[in-house]
Chain A
């Protein structure tokens, strides 16, 4: 056992990076579920974002353009879900699952010409002398712009949901769509926008994997991250800061267990391998002991005639 081989600074920096795809996707899904929609297609939207972002970044040479394209790709795919569930009142669970399958297949098709291509790399933001500070520099001031965007997104979602009229309307639609409709709010319009927001966030989360974390394109490369993001939203009781906590906890313990393995710590590997899932769930379940419940209309179809 050689714990000195683990560099805690690099570990924390790595966990922030590892948590970002989950964080982006989960924040988007949180807004969707707050509007009363259960979209199980996160994985599909992520992988579409991963390939759209990758392809556009490679063609344009600009990773920023790639991320914009990833958000657009995810949002366009989510429109399909909106069309199915909001206009034709299809079952949300089935539509979401279909979206995931469709996204996985379509991304494999789109990505055929991009296997083995190296994308342009996203430079870390330079904070001048701040980035050179010991300890704090690499942890707080040594990341790529998308990671900071993810953190700001959580803050923004929290503030909008809590303090603005738009947030109140969104929550009203999610809690009781009939009442919101009776008050004159456009339930379907609000939900469609929320779904597109969720799609854009998931798309960016996928692009973070293909452009920054790995960086390459491989079929099926999101490998279940979308499902973890979905579960995280529930365990975080639909609260943005808990989503952040959960994502960092999950990313952190994933990184830590790999580090411990590398350092040869004598804990059986099976326990290490399952620890991220276990600890994240335990912590969030304990936290959710308060009375926060799912949005009242979550997953229920809405029709104005209702």
Chain B
């Protein structure tokens, strides 16, 4: 059953149809939010708020074929607000940047795949470093990287969600990926053999 049929059903009073939409979209949206904010508990809260907002606003969505774009827009706005609020807490970026020195000292353990007996532990460790690396680049670059790399969205889809010109999106991707590349190189995450292990 397509999203559009489910939306029609929901608008006719079948709340179960919305629950099906939640079940269908919760994983991609959660991962989008998680990578955006880098905190699983906050990601769950933001995901919940996103669906609550969608539940309330869905009757006002005119073009039902734009549902996924619209849902990503809500999630992005929620993430942006959350990120803005968190920036004022003075806990995030400074601490993360301080962690960079610590990461440098741990470099040996990351880059040497033979040293770790447990591959899944190594993978989760690498995922943790990727989480930190994403949080170190500017928010506007991070969001386009997440949309492109992890959600496979086309440039025009990202343009529709973020409401910014195509060239800006490409430019942010270019600079965002370049920044990530720089961080990976510093941390030793750019080695071919390491990616093989991953």
Do the two chains belong together in a single complex?
A: no
Q: Which residues of A contact B (CB under 8 A)?
A: none
